[in-house]
Amino acid sequence: MRDSPPARSPLPAALEAIVGPGAMRRGTPERYAYAADLWPKNQLWKMQGEPARYAPDAVVQPGSEAEVLAICAAAAERSVPVIPYGAGSGVCGGTVPIRGGVIMDVRRLRNIGQVDPLDMTVTVDAGVIGMHLEETLAERGYTLGHFPSSILCSTVGGWVAARSAGQFSSKYGKIEDMVVGVRVALPSGRIVETHESQPDDLTALYVGSEGTLGTIVSATLRVHPAPETQVFRGFRFRTLDDAVRGIRLLMQSGKEPCLVRLYDPVDTVLHRSKDPATVVKDDSESPSFLHGLLDSALGRGAKKAGIALALGNPSLLNRLANTVAAECLLIVGFEGATAVVDRDAPAAWRLLEDAGGVDGGEGPGRQWLEKRYAVSFKQSALYAAGAFVDTLEVGCTWSRLLPVYHAVRNALAPHALIMAHMSHAYREGCSIYFTFAAHRRDPKALERHYDRVIEDALTAVIREGGSIAHHHGIGLAKRDHMAREHGAGLRLLYAAKDAIDPFGLMNPGKVLPDRAVTQ
């Protein structure tokens, strides 16, 4: 008679044996702290008295690749989910532990290798904070060229997992254009290493997988020589159509600006109300009443009464905005070798002027550069006043850009204050980054209203031929719309999930909708 297998130790004890007592936490404060990312739904639940609607059973902080593999194996043996966690700056619910399990915080994995000067690559651990990486590369005379607004509070692993984009993506590309290969801990506790030189390279499978196929342990990334010079300039366009045409002509001219950022009329007005120095001056009358309303809701020092007044009737506010706001602010930048910038930037300025732009000099661009990481959505004041604010980034080809923009604006105008900027411009298309806010007195009604706004916006995007995500990922926020955009193509992703994670233990519930929903 065969002996029975030895009883397994409880998972917390096994995890503590792997990482040590100081790197495994089960206390309520720690579990609640890791229960949410920056997805607004987490805040809406807190407004209803739920500090953590979904909390992990434990938080573990591995200090090496070997510990990551051991954690995955121990969890798999006990059928416990594992959720990889970087810095928690995601905005789509990508790390919310909806089925409990273990949050694996990878920030102790923070080695930055030497730059290979021949291949122009560097291998970086997943837990390295973005700004630390960029500062280290700058000291060595290089740049990655990846500057998301969250660079101070996001990790390399998070960038790769969510297919992120930096503010200079028009020149350097998105993160998937920078990744040469990855090392990924599989749910079984084995390691897989990919590289673009392999005939069966699987790098693209893991980039953007959001922890559903394994835990990214490290990535090999392309680097570039640090730029010798930078130039930025602001332009004013009379209409959004003219500005979009100007950007398209610029991106298809062969020039490579690092930055292209177009604010729609409402966002341009908001920038003027927040900081007049960022806006190109003209002789037109400033729509001061609209400035005041926007500032009372979203400006510095916004008060509860002002927020409720401004956002309580979004349909009226949007109609007013459409009436008084017309001009758009465009900021364009170039960086790189001095000879190349000196050649391309003046040609770009002439092209934009020929397209109808009025040159406003360096001021608007320099103001943007100085404040580009000072992203503040005034969330605390807004949520305290019974409001929400969120963003939605979508991808479009040039032919669909304006139809998608107008469709989303029309869909949301009755329900939320809506504005947008367009950035991450490429030869074939551009991203639209919508910002919207609304107010309700009852927290549960506010959540229902938020859900409706998201549903209406994504429905409009899909109907007009846009993509529901450009660089924030899918997570929980957009998961149930994946089938509507990708249709039968999801079968390939389900097949990969079944092959790599047959028991569904890696970050369950994210990216892929339940199969019953897709059938």
pTM (2 decimals)? 0.93
Q: Does 237 share its domain with 215? A: no
Is residue 474 in a domain? no
Q: Does 296 share its domain with 374? A: yes
Q: Does 169 share its domain with 263? A: no
Q: Does 510 share its domain with 453? A: no
Cα 212–217–220 angle (5° rounding)?
110
pLDDT at 479 exceeding the cut of 50: yes
- What pLDDT is stored for residue 145 in this prediction? 98
Q: Does 78 share its domain with 133? A: no
pLDDT tens by residue, 416-459: 999 999 999 999 999 999 999 999 999 999 999 999 999 999 99
Is residue 93 in a domain? yes
Least confident of 120-134, 366-380, 443-457, 478-492: 366-380
pLDDT tens by residue, 40-68: 999 999 999 999 999 999 999 999 999 99
Least confident of 38-52, 100-114, 273-287: 273-287
Is residue 139 in a domain? yes
pLDDT at 376 exceeding the cut of 90: no
Picking from 207, 225, 243, the residue at the C-terminal end of a domain is 225
Picking from 225, 256, 273, the residue at the C-terminal end of a domain is 225
Q: Does 80 share its domain with 97? A: yes
- What pLDDT is stored for residue 323 in this prediction? 79
Q: Residue 123 and residue 112: Cα distance in Å, rounded?
A: 6
C-beta of residue 437 within 8 angstroms of C-beta of residue 311: yes
pLDDT at 462 exceeding the cut of 70: yes
C-beta of residue 92 within 8 angstroms of C-beta of residue 472: yes
- What pLDDT is stored for residue 184 in this prediction? 99
Write down the residue that tokens 């003027």 correspond to: 272
Instruction: Tell me which H or E stretch contains 84.
Output: strand 82-85
- Mean of per-residue pLDDT scores for the chain: 91
Q: Does 343 share its domain with 242? A: yes
Is residue 375 in a domain? yes
Is residue 263 in a domain? yes
**What total number of domains does the chain contain?**
4
The CATH number that applies at residue 82 is 3.30.43.10
Is residue 113 in a domain? no
pLDDT at 336 exceeding the cut of 60: yes
pLDDT tens by residue, 128-185: 999 999 999 999 999 999 999 999 999 999 999 999 999 999 999 999 999 999 999 9
- What pLDDT is stored for residue 281 in this prediction? 46
The CATH number that applies at residue 326 is 3.40.462.40
Least confident of 76-90, 281-295, 369-383: 281-295
Picking from 79, 105, 131, the residue at the C-terminal end of a domain is 105
Give the residue ranges of DSSP H helices in 140-230.
Answer: 156-162, 169-172, 175-178, 203-206
Is residue 345 in a domain? yes
Q: Does 357 share its domain with 209? A: no
What's the mean pLDDT in 110-125? Answer: 98
Q: Does 390 share its domain with 498? A: no
Confidence of residue 297 (pLDDT cuts 50, 70, 90): low
Q: Does 305 share its domain with 436? A: yes
pLDDT at 34 exceeding the cut of 50: yes
- What is the DSSP annotation of 427-461? SSEEEEEEEEEEE-SSHHHHHHHHHHHHHHHHHHH
- What pLDDT is stored for residue 320 in this prediction? 83
Identify the domain containing residue 89 by its residue range: 11-105
pLDDT at 402 exceeding the cut of 70: yes
- What pLDDT is stored for residue 100 in this prediction? 97
Q: Does 339 share its domain with 203? A: no
For 389-407, b/e burial (b = at least 16 CB within 10 A) is: bbebbbbbebebbbebbeb
In the chain, what percentage of residues exceed pLDDT 70? 90
pLDDT at 325 exceeding the cut of 90: no
Is residue 450 in a domain? yes
What's the mean pLDDT in 72-85? Answer: 98
pLDDT tens by residue, 239-269: 999 999 999 999 999 999 999 999 999 999 8
Q: Does 214 share its domain with 248? A: no
The CATH number that applies at residue 151 is 3.30.465.10
Q: Residue 53 and residue 51: Cα distance in Å, rounded?
A: 7
Give me the torsion for CA of 123, 84, 128, 108, rounded to 10°. -110
pLDDT at 516 exceeding the cut of 90: no
